[in-house]
Chains A and B, each alone.
Chain A
Amino acid sequence: EVQLVQSGGGLVQPGGSLRLSCAASGFTFNSFWMRWVRQAPGKGLVWLSRINSDGTSTTYADSVRGRFTISRDSSKNTLYLQMNSLSVEDTATYFCAREDFFSDACDVWGQGTTVIVSS
């Protein structure tokens, strides 16, 4: 079964850091581009970051550029999002997603992990 299983969310103080993980299975992980998307409570979806299949190219939304780092480990079939300098505005559910091989649609999604930034 093709799936993405997320971990790493939790409660963190403002200014703190957190690393999210997204473990892939059921498909050839290093053939697919991957993304992170978040959703603040009661709000819509927001794209955060994208990484190419071999990890050599990354793109970020303005809201997280310089604070968040996307990476991947092909030996562990895992996608990461390192989040630094967190603020209360970063409180959200974070989703990892796989890009469809033939388009930039996200065809497989993780279950989501919640990050709460609060003192």
Chain B
Amino acid sequence: QSLLTQPPSVSGAPGQNVSISCTGSSSNLGAGYDVHWYQQFPGAAPKLLISVNKNRPSGVPDRFSGSKSGTSASLAITGLQAEDEAVYYCQSYDDILSAWLFGGGAKLTVL
């Protein structure tokens, strides 16, 4: 079981807004370590979506946004599009494990 907990699945209709949570603990997100978010399509490599809690790399639509507070972080997607259907992973560092962790991944289904 991952130490960064994500819902296994989220869904929404086109045009709706969704949020994906990432819950950690005092040894990772709560210790001040940054969270990053990745988008992965089936059979493809992950793609960096949000870095350092809230920064969008060049080319990422502004429909995607990130936030972090305490031991939790969230990825928000506004105006859902069919092309957003993918698995989303959060990632941070844990200082008890001395390792970089990924959340279990949240599969987004666009209804």
Contacts and interface: CB of A to CB of B under 8 A. Distances in A.
Contacts of A104: 34, 36, 93, 100
A118 interface: no
A56 to B, nearest CB: 18
Interface string A37-67: 1000000111100100000000101100000
A105 B36 contact: yes
A110 B45 contact: yes
Interface string B76-111: 000000000000010101000111111111000000
Residue with the greatest number of chain A CB neighbours at <10 A, chosen from B47, B48, B98: B48
A109 B2 CA distance: 22
Interface of B: 2, 34, 36, 38, 40, 45-48, 51-52, 57, 89, 91, 93, 97-105
Given A50-B100, A102-B52, 16 more contacts: A44-B104, A45-B46, A47-B91, A47-B99, A47-B101, A62-B99, A100-B48, A103-B51, A104-B34, A105-B36, A105-B52, A106-B91, A107-B48, A107-B51, A109-B45, A110-B45
Q: Return the 6 tightest CB-CB contacts between A and B, nearest first.
A: A105-B51, A109-B45, A105-B36, A47-B100, A45-B102, A44-B105
